[in-house]
Amino acid sequence: MEPNEKLIVVTGGSKGIGRAVVSRFLQAGFPVATCARSSDDLAALTAELSAAIPGAALHTLPADLSQPGDCARFAAFVQSLDLPVEVLVNNAGAFVPGRLQDEPADGSQLRQMLAVNLLSAYDVTLPLLPGFIAQGRGHIFTICSTASITAYPNGGSYGIAKHALLGFTKNLREELKPSGVRVTAVLPGPTLTASWAGVDLPAERFVQAEDVAEAVFGTYSLSPHAVVEELLIRPQLGDL
């Protein structure tokens, strides 16, 4: 099948790593479906990428993937496009720093971090799995974090959620081995996105979002006989 007959799905595609991934696959000629909470951000994304990439086929839907109903709505939107899903990139997430001991006693911060960083991936992936399995191919990426393998002093509930996301990815990989569907966990270190806005550090201390997108694209481009199970990307000078 030609690229324009295979759909790429990226959650949280209006900013940061998600935006870079959307752009990279559009440049390669694939149609892309994405979502974000802000309809204004999605409109700006569409305008910018349509101007930069002639013929870009970008399908967008405003959705808050911390809400199960919006996850279901986005999955249904993807299926309504009636194209085989070739790649799913579970990128939607949010970072709230802090210590567990300082978080609200009602557990609301952990539940929010799990909803945004873990359950969003679970709730979007499951409705699309039958299609992946039936076609016997495809690639699912989860954008985890170095916080998925390292406990940071100020990581709090975010670190718990990202550890859980890596666990979800490993289980999914094990289940899908016989199906021909590849599963990859992407673990970027500090990446120059809105999460780090206002931090007084030079750009070279961060991973560039475009480098993460290029690594995702390269991993997808391997033959069906090989899979990169975990893709760990750090700044050249190491963690912050």
pLDDT(6) > 80? yes
Q: What band does 202 get if pLDDT is binned at 50, 70 and 90?
A: confident
Burial class (CB in 10 A: 0-12, 13-18, 19+), 111: middle
User: Per-residue pLDDT averaged across 176-183, rounded?
Assistant: 98
Least confident of 5-14, 27-36, 73-82, 198-207: 198-207
Both tokens of residue 86? Answer: 């070739």
**pLDDT tens per residue across span 12-41:** 999 999 999 999 999 999 999 999 999 999
Largest Cα span, the chain: 53
**Residue recorded with tokens 């960083």:** 117
Backbone angles phi, psi at 82, to 5 degrees: 55, 40
* Per-residue model confidence (pLDDT) at position 92: 97
User: Per-residue pLDDT averaged across 193-219, rounded?
Assistant: 86
pTM: 0.96
* Per-residue model confidence (pLDDT) at position 200: 77
* Per-residue model confidence (pLDDT) at position 166: 98
**pLDDT tens per residue across span 183-201:** 999 999 988 776 666 777 8
| All domains of the chain in start order, with CATH | 3-233 (3.40.50.720)
